[in-house]
Every structure is written in C-alpha cells, then in structure tokens.
C-alpha cells in the first residue's frame, strides 16, 4: 500500500545506516512478518496498539518518525541513489 511504501522507505533512508545489526533484524522482521500491511501503518501511527512481539525500539523509532514533527513533505518515496552514496 502506498502509505506504507512512503513511510517505510523514508524511514529506511533516514535510519538504516545508523541501526545496529539487531535493530536491522527487528526492522526486517517488522516489515516482513505481519500478514496485513495495514497493521504496520496502524501501529506506526498509533491508531491501534502494537502487539508485544513487534513493540520494540525499532517500532518506537518508526512511531516517532511517523509523527513528522518537522512537518516535512512526504509525498513520494525517495530516489534510490542514496543507497549507492558512501556513508
């Protein structure tokens, strides 16, 4: 779904390079295990409570990111060129 694509891709661009291996594993599990993409969106936007198995530091980071406190325009996924830039 488009909402998750935008949210998760922008979150990934901003955070993946700084995450530990354990956090990366938790992020991978979060984006791949739930069978309903809407669940991830509802958890990230705090519309529904996050199940204990996914209520991790990574989910806390995603929830904070979803609040968009800086009021950035988040209308599309980032270009993928950032994946090839040196850290």
Neighbouring CB atoms inside 10 A of 77's CB total 15
Report which DSSP code applies to 46.
T
Average pLDDT over residues 67-83: 74
Q: Report the distance separating Cα 20 and Cα 26, nearest Å.
A: 10
Higher pLDDT, 77 or 49: 49
pTM: 0.81
pLDDT tens profile 1-49: 778 888 999 999 999 999 999 999 999 999 999 888 899 999 999 999 9
Q: Report the distance separating Cα 1 and Cα 38, nearest Å.
A: 8
pLDDT at 87: 63
């Amino acid at each position: 779904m488009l909402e998750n694509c935008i949210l998760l891709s922008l979150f990934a661009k901003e955070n993946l390079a700084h995450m530990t291996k354990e956090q990366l594993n938790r992020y991978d599990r979060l984006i791949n295990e739930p069978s309903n993409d809407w669940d991830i969106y509802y958890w990230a936007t705090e519309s529904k409570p996050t199940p204990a198995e996914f209520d991790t530091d990574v989910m806390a980071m995603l929830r904070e990111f979803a609040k968009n406190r800086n009021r950035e325009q988040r209308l599309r996924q980032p270009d993928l060129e950032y994946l090839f830039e040196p850290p």
